[in-house]
Structure 1
């Protein structure tokens, strides 16, 4: 798999597409959810692809444009696995760097959307799909995110005012409960940042 990651971007896209298709059928999800199934290994592999190969902090705006189709597939797979992973993993064990990557992707998307609006650019359907999938994935994560995880995100610089505001802007319209839980945890961890978010999103 590491060879596919480093040497064959097209092969990786085909592989992720196959995984995504598997997550859309009951038999596929049951296989991934099984305690002795491949779910954990696939989760770790796709997480590594997203965090280490695709979404380096330095080149994320470029990546969102160039790799949007592969990111759509990767996040779709991760979201599907996250929803069925109780059998082989505690949901609260999700890696800080993966949540940080989701937050960064949403931040760049919201900034890009502002730019696109100002340029009156045509709507990019793949970026729109990516925005929807990452928003749903973040909502799933935030609905029960532990306070310790939020504290780690703040401490490691993943959850900043910028990313918190873009996350709030993403969650409030359709995922209010997830936003409220994240906000409650943030209020415990960083009251000042929580106040900034609350002023802009008084839910």
Structure 2
């Protein structure tokens, strides 16, 4: 109880030490449940944690508090649901402005985003933690709703994640091996984007398609897949490599579980986005260099045969935009020709 009360302290070193202790307690399987129960019974913990995430500029503290939240959500879905609902329920009631000690009604998603913005440039591990918290939120419907039904319709979340994928992580001037370093944070980000994308209404799809961010995101997803192929090729010997080129499949270093997860999430989001493409988008993608024979081949190679319908519908749109490219791709992927 005393330890939890110290989370409401205003002294950063005290908060940091308290968070460290709390994380240690939550990491002990034999006592973790007791601590989760105590935290559940103590609503001030939610307020204090949200206050730190939304207002602190101390990166070390933010990372540690993020690790505590990540651990809590991982351990107890019910607590996560309570914290998601916390902000939504309380914000409906009248706000109390006359008490200076009264904390504002916090909503969990904006607090996580604020903390993520603070740590993104200084602490890659911290960013990884906050992206994983967002990913955990998307494992329950209430979490996805909390993200997409924010007053801005999830624009801030989408904007931050888009910015990270398209402008910071896994960039064109990075070596392919970078995907090994960034695989967990990328998997979390793409997982959240995928959940957000899948929950859009038809009207919102149209809006997203018309936005300038659509094709660059597709380009970034394909680049991630290309880099994964690059990593795979480094890990196979020459004989395997030639065999791999014949079959047109990238060996993804089977034992690397996290790369496999990243590939699966990346393919799922890419297939959903390709399925929504219009001729206008496609022309834009061709013009900007996001779509060409090399990138489309990489996409098809990774998406087939699982996402056949998505590839087929994209190919139809591509045929309207660039007949020659569509024909060349059909030659490279004969299975598509049969169904054409």
Whether the 8 Å contact between 1:96 and 1:152 is mirrored in structure 2 is: yes
Per the alignment, residue 152 of structure 1 pairs with 284
Task: Provide TM-score, normalisation by structure 1.
Answer: 0.90
How far 1:80 moved relative to its partner? 0.8
How far 1:88 moved relative to its partner? 5.7
Identify the match of residue 306 of structure 2 among 160, 165, 174: 174
Q: Does 1:84 align with 2:199?
A: yes
Q: CA distance change for structure 1 residues 147 and 140 in 2, over 3 Å: closer, same or farther?
A: same
Greater helix content: 1
In structure 2, C-alpha distance between the alignment counterparts of 1:41 and 1:118, rounded to whole Å: 45
- Equivalence map 1:14-163=2 (5 Å): 14-34=129-149, 36=151, 39-86=154-201, 90-92=207-209, 93=211, 94-118=213-237, 123-163=255-295
Report SS of the residue matched to 2:174.
helix
In structure 2, C-alpha distance between the alignment counterparts of 1:196 and 1:109, rounded to whole Å: 24
Structure 1 residue runs of 5 or longer lacking an equivalent are none
User: Rg larger in 1 or in 2?
Assistant: 2
In structure 2, C-alpha distance between the alignment counterparts of 1:185 and 1:109, rounded to whole Å: 27
Q: Name which of structure 1's ranges 24-33 and 112-121 shifts more when overlaid on structure 2.
A: 112-121
Q: CA distance change for structure 1 residues 65 and 148 in 2, over 3 Å: closer, same or farther?
A: same
* Number of residue pairs aligned between Structure 1 and Structure 2: 203
Relative contact order, higher structure (CA 8 A, sep 6+): 1
In structure 2, C-alpha distance between the alignment counterparts of 1:83 and 1:171, rounded to whole Å: 17
Identify the match of residue 331 of structure 2 among 196, 199, 203: 199
Task: Provide TM-score, normalisation by structure 2.
Answer: 0.56
RMSD over aligned Cα, in angstroms? 2.1
Structure 2 residue runs of 5 or longer lacking an equivalent are 1-113, 241-252
Q: Deviations over 1:56-115 (max 9, x none)?
A: 101051320111111111111111111123376634135321111011112222343344
In structure 2, C-alpha distance between the alignment counterparts of 1:149 and 1:177, rounded to whole Å: 19
Q: Does 1:186 align with 2:318?
A: yes
